[in-house]
Amino acid sequence: MQDLVTLGQRIRHFRTAAGLTLDEAGARVGAAPSHLSLIENGRREPRLSLLTELAHAFGVPVQQLLDDQPPSERAALEIELGQIQRGALYASLGLPTIRAKSLSDDTLRAILGLYRELERRAKQAIATPEEARRGNTELRRRMRERNNYLPEIEDVAEQLLADAGHVSGALTHRTVSIMAERLGFELVHVNDLPHSARSVTDLENGRIYLPPASIPGGHGLRSMALQAMAHRVLGHEVPATYADFLQQRLEINYFAAAVLMPRKQSVEFLQKAKAERNIAVEDFRDAFGVTHEAAALRLTNLLTSHLDLELHFLRVGGDGAVQKAYENDGLRLPVDVTGSTEGQYVCRNWAARTAFGRMNRTTEFYQYTDTPEGTFFESAQTGTTTSEDFSITVGVPFAHSKWFRGRDTANRRGSTCPDEACCKRPPQDLQERWRGKAWSSARLHAQILSPLPSGTFPGVDDRELYEFLETHAARATD
């Protein structure tokens, strides 16, 4: 069945073609002209008996009225304009509603053409998760070529640390504040940051707004402050593409890590641990006062470039899906057809997953994993966020295991993934028993990259951001 607007258009078209006014047509079929008018405007649905009488009065078969095509190009344009103005995209623009009747054909065509292009672009923006996955995969490939090491950012970090008078030991909040001051910024902790922003920088008044200093897990604050400064230090412009956005995010994370775990001290620490055959992520973490994940990631920057050790890093959720991954040691990461690894499940026999099964989760878990690509030594630590479990794994090829704590572990597992028979396929008897007798609904993966709402800064709500800046700038001058 056609929509009422098209039906009304066709009735009006055939009425005027028959040379009848509303009054005349109404008289012929015994209906009020006002009722016919409502039908022609698509606001009332005519009964079939009335339709039959109208068709008879116009001298056309009733099927002509019921056709789902607009009666003319002009009518099609008017219908489309009506549909557009009732839609959410048009409503979001805050523009007045216009009546098609008052417009020339060309004006209508121009408005509709512009609107179709607007709609096409909006749909393109919705396709961003795909773009994000491709961008992420490409970035990982480029970083693998560089052994995840960016000396130019290391140099900048070292210089800034030296200028701030930092010599050794874990970096304090105080030193981070001094670094900010030297860059012309004051660190201000506030309770009302925009929900979509991790930090906000007021360039005009030289302030970096951060969450309250007292929040649990506040050790992340130094990192957040450093990331905010990094945009300035590294000369970032507002990212034009998703790839730019990912590159900048990688660089600010890298900069924060290079300040919190300075290259010189970190390499010295790791070389000493290697000489003692006692490299452990947990020690490196504790020496620099950072999270286990930050320490493990920092090893991917430094172990290959300075200690000639290839390695892999994994952050895996309690469901077994990859949240972050890096390798330059030949470990075969699970990937989809596009080469993307985020959201793919790692083998049940890797330390990243066997570590979840342990009773004592306070210390690192060690395991040798035999794969078709060789044997790897892995060290995994599990953790919990407010919503889920995760594990952080650092692994190296067997030949390098002699430098690591935990190398004497008796834990050993075999893995032939991606061969389905390894751990993916359910046992034959269970399959037969349950086939057709159960149903399940999937949970969407929260870690899969979501599209960025458009705004001046990708992902940050413009209105919230500018209102926030306005409020705080006013308070600052009081």
**CB 417 → Zn ion: shortest distance, Å?**
3
Q: How far is the CB of 377 from Zn ion (least distance, A)?
A: 18
> Per DSSP, which regions of 282-407 are E strands?
312-317, 322-327, 365-371, 374-384, 389-397
Distance between CA 243 and CA 247 in Å, rounded? 6
Minimum distance, C-beta of residue 229 to Zn ion, in the bound complex (Å): 43
Nearer to Zn ion, 294 or 347 (CB): 347
Q: Extract the tokens encoding 197.
A: 């922003």
The rounded distance, in Å, linking the Cα atoms of 310 and 331 is 10
Given candidates 259, 297, 417, 465, which one binds Zn ion under the rule CB under 5 A?
Answer: 417
Question: Which of these ranges, 139-147, 234-242, 407-415, 459-467, lies near Zn ion under the rule CB under 5 A?
Answer: 407-415
Name the pairing type of β-strands 207-210 and 186-189.
parallel
Q: How far is CA 313 from CA 125, 298, 323, in A?
A: 31, 10, 11
Q: Of the two residues 287 and 422, which places its CB atom closer to Zn ion in the complex?
A: 422
Token pair, residue 82, equals: 């009506």
Question: Near Zn ion by CB under 5 A, which window of 289-297, 351-359, 417-425, 452-460?
Answer: 417-425
Q: Does 347 bind Zn ion (CB under 5 A)?
A: yes
Residue 151, preceding peptide bond in cis (omega within 30° of 0): no
CB 99 within 8 A of CB 42: no
Write down the least CB distance from residue 391 to Zn ion, Å: 16
CA distances from 251 to 160, 222, 352, 448 (A): 16, 16, 26, 21
Q: How far is the CB of 350 from Zn ion (least distance, A)?
A: 8
Q: Is 351 in the site for Zn ion (CB under 5 A)?
A: no
Q: Which residue carries 């004592």 as its tokens?
A: 360
Contact 367, 348 (CB under 8 A): no
Which residues in the 82-111 window bind Zn ion by CB under 5 A?
A: none
| Least Cβ distance, residue 419 to Zn ion (angstroms) | 7
Please identify, using beta-carbon distances, which residue of 325 and 423 lies nearer to Zn ion: 423
Distance of closest approach, residue 433 Cβ to Zn ion, in angstroms = 23
Q: 3-state class of 211 per DSSP?
A: coil
Task: Pick the piece of the chain touching Zn ion (CB under 5 A) from 15-23, 40-48, 184-192, 416-424.
Answer: 416-424
How many residues line the site for Zn ion (CB under 5 A)? 5
CA distance 45 to 35: 10
Q: Got the DSSP string for 34-66?
A: HHHHHHHTTSSPPPHHHHHHHHHHHTS-HHHHH
Q: Which is nearer to Zn ion, 178 or 422 (CB)?
A: 422
Q: Which is nearer to Zn ion, 353 or 400 (CB)?
A: 353
Its sign, for the CA torsion 449, 455, 457, 461, is: negative
**Could you give the CA distance from residue 326 to residue 341 in angstroms, rounded to a whole number?**
10
Stretch of 162-170, 186-194, 322-330, 415-423 contacting Zn ion, by CB under 5 A: 415-423
The reply on whether position 422 binds Zn ion by CB under 5 A is yes
E strands within 123-215?
186-189, 200-202, 207-210
Among 423, 449, 465, 469, binds Zn ion (CB under 5 A): 423
CB of 356 to Zn ion, least distance (A): 15
333 sits near Zn ion (criterion: CB under 5 A): no
- Minimum distance, C-beta of residue 347 to Zn ion, in the bound complex (Å): 3
Closer Cβ to Zn ion, 3 or 419, answer by number: 419
Q: Which of 28/332 has CB closer to Zn ion?
A: 332
Identify which range of 45-53, 343-351, 433-441, 464-472 contacts Zn ion by CB under 5 A. Answer: 343-351
- 51 sits near Zn ion (criterion: CB under 5 A): no
Q: How far is the CB of 193 from Zn ion (least distance, A)?
A: 42
- Interface residues with Zn ion (CB under 5 A)? 347, 415, 417, 422-423
